[in-house]
Structure 1
Amino acid sequence: MFERFTKEARAAVAGAVTFSQGAGEGGITEEHLLLSLLDQDSGRAAFALAALGVTDRRASLQAALGEARRLGGLTKADTQALAGLGIDVGEIVARIEEEHGEGALAQDGRVRRSRSGRRPLTAGAKGVLEGSLRIAVGRGDRFIGGEHLLLALVARPGVVADVLAEHGASYATVERALYGAGREGGGGAAGAAAAG
């Protein structure tokens, strides 16, 4: 699949590896892919993120991602649903951190480095790459670019998509920023379904 990646998309994956290494994590996550896309200063994904003002709100976005990690990866919708059942996630996290230390839920150890020494992709990151292929094919594009990675990130349910949506980057707004209103073929709900 990587042979179909554009220079921009390959740079995004390489940047995600760097973010993973810098964080001392064993694997490459969706968050690393997003942070790498945010670092790019050219290309379609960089244009869309800038047009939506996401790059200007990077600190806020990173704080929201950090808080989600602190909550063990629960999305805002998850915490609201649990609150509706009378479960105070903040209280539970506070008790866990009191007993095991700050950020105890963020240290999940789900990914271990492969024997080759390479950092593997988490299931979520693999899903983003697979989703980007489906989105590219669905749009009739021969190559997978950073824009396809970005669309796959916002289409895949989870913390990264939720945080991006809170910062103005939903599937619909990203698609509009990339392709304009009313583009025919492969977009919209069909594109979002292809990524999930």
Structure 2
Amino acid sequence: MFERFTKDARAVVASAVEHATQARAAETGADHLLLALLDASTGRASSVLAALGARDRREGIVGALEEARRRGGLSQAEAEALAGLGIDLAAIVSRVEDVHGVGAMAAGAGGRGHREKGRLTGHQPLADDTKDILRRSLRIAVARRDRHIGAEHLLLALLARPGIPTEVLADHGVTYAEVERILSGDEAGGFRATG
């Protein structure tokens, strides 16, 4: 499948792996993919994110992702559902962090590299959500009759599935519908992804 990725899409995936490695995460997750998309400076996804103001709000997006990690990877909707049941997630996080340190509940926290039989391999595996996004990006490209999978397909695939990155982007004005609207406008103007 990677042979169908454009140079920009490959760079986004490589950057996501680097973000995960730097964060000492056990796997490359959808949040790392989102950070890589925000960092990209070329391609249609970068243009769309700039047009929607997401690149200008990168700091707020990163902060929201970090806050979700502190909540153990629970989305704001999940935190609100727990609050409806009388469970104060903020109090739980605070108590855990008092005992174990700030960020103790961070989802995906771990050492550098993948552990295999007690030793580090140096390999950074992709999380299930990231694998799903890659598969969805192929389906989206095919449905749009695009020959190659670009970073814009990765962005659409990320936004097509529920999760913290999708919730955070929506809170910052980036939705599947808005991205699709801008991309459709690009195509009407004759601009299409190329390999």
Q: TM-score, normalised by structure 2?
A: 0.87
User: What is the aligned partner in structure 2 of residue 25 from structure 1?
Assistant: 25
CA drift at 1:174: 1.1
Counterpart Cα distance in 1 of 2:139 and 2:34: 18
C-alpha deviation, 1:52, in angstroms: 0.2
Cα deviation code 1:75-128 (max 9, x no counterpart): 111111111111111111111111221111105458961655321101111111
Which residue does the alignment assign to 2:48? 48
- Does the 8 Å contact 2:24/2:110 carry over to 1? no
Q: Residue 7 of structure 1 corresponds to which residue in structure 2?
A: 7
Note the 1:172-183 alignment, pairs <5 A.
172-180=177-185
Q: Secondary structure at the match of 2:155?
A: helix
Amino acid at match of 1:113: H
How far is the alpha carbon of 1:57 from its aligned partner?
Answer: 0.2
CA distance in 1, matches of 2:47, 2:57: 15
CA RMSD of aligned residues (A): 2.0
Unpaired stretches in structure 1, ≥5 consecutive residues: 184-196
Give how far 1:155 is off: 1.2
Corresponding letter in the other structure for 2:60? S
Secondary structure (helix, strand or coil) at the match of 2:56 reads helix
**Aligned pairs for 1:21-170 within 5 A:** 21-106=21-106, 108-109=108-109, 113=114, 117-170=122-175
Larger RCO of the pair (alpha carbons < 8 Å, separation 6+) = 2
Q: How many residues align?
A: 183
Q: Is the 8 A contact 1:132 1:152 kept in 2?
A: yes
For residue 67 of structure 1, what is the amino acid of its counterpart? E
How far the C-alpha of 1:26 sits from its partner, in A, is 2.7
Which whole-Å CA distance do the structure 1 matches of 2:42 and 2:108 have between them? 34
Aligned counterparts of 1:109 and 1:62: Cα–Cα separation in 2: 16
Which digits, 9 at most, give the CA deviation of each residue in 1:33-73, with x for residues without a partner? 11111111111000100000000000000000000000011
Unaligned runs of 5+ in 2: 189-195
1:180, CA displacement in angstroms? 2.8
Match of residue 192 from structure 2: none
- In structure 2, relative to structure 1, the CA distance for the partners of 1:127 and 1:114 (3 Å cut) is farther
Between the aligned partners of 1:69 and 1:180, the Cα distance in structure 2 is 35
Distance 1:158 1:107, change over 3 A: closer
Q: 2:39 and 2:87 mapped to 1: Cα distance?
A: 37
How many Å separate the matches in 2 of 1:58 and 1:127? Answer: 24
Q: Is the 8 A contact 2:82 2:89 kept in 1?
A: yes
Q: CA separation in 1, counterparts of 2:110 and 2:23? A: 15
Residues 132-173 of structure 1: CA distance to partner in whole angstroms, max 9, x if unpaired? 111111111121100000001111100000000000001111
**1:190 matched residue in structure 2:** none
Query: What is the DSSP-based 3-state SS (H/G/I as helix, E as strand, rest coil) of the residue aligned with 1:106?
Result: coil
User: What is the percentage of aligned positions where both structures have the same residue?
Assistant: 54
